[in-house]
Homo-oligomer: A and B are copies of this chain.
Amino acid sequence: MGRIEEVWNADRLIGDFGMKLLEAREGYARVSAKVEERFLNAHNIGHGVLLFAVADVAFALSVISVEYAVGVQYSMNVVRAAMPGDEVIGESRIFHKGRQQMVCELTVTDGSGRVLARGQATALPVSRSAYVEKQPEGKSG
């Protein structure tokens, strides 16, 4: 079993949020989640946490496809609301793979392909044992 399946199956939040794996290959991943009732905020639209969640899970899968690593920095601009019942799709693509860091561009779209949010995230490589046990700094999910 590859690292992507390992993370996909072991991550409890992915299951709890009912995410679907749309695509995952070296340096790239795309996942989706439905804007269920429990993910609505005070004005009845999809919560910012849900947008972050699909971006973050795509990010984790895209970097883990290359090597064990933990996410340490996130920047995200939210530009449009997710509507109840719609799908939100998180996408991550590594645009820099260095010895000390991997940097990804993140995009969140709705079911019609409209951009809801865009951002960037940074991951630092860790050894497999550090990854599986616990890590000294940062986190991966």
**For the complex, would chain A's binding face be called helix, strand, loop or mixed by DSSP majority?**
mixed
Task: Check if A137 sits within 8 Å of B99, measured CB to CB.
Answer: yes
A13-B49, A78-B71, A122-B73 given; A41·B140 CB < 8 A: yes
A1 vs chain B, min Cβ distance (A): 12
A95 and B115 in contact (CB under 8 A), knowing A42-B11, A100-B100? yes
Q: Tell me whether A42 and B96 are in contact (CB under 8 A).
A: no
A34 at the interface (CB under 8 A from B): no
Which one, B10, B71, B78, B115, contacts A139 given CB within 8 A? B78
Q: Nearest 5 A-B pairs (CB), nearest first?
A: A41-B141, A75-B75, A10-B42, A98-B137, A47-B141
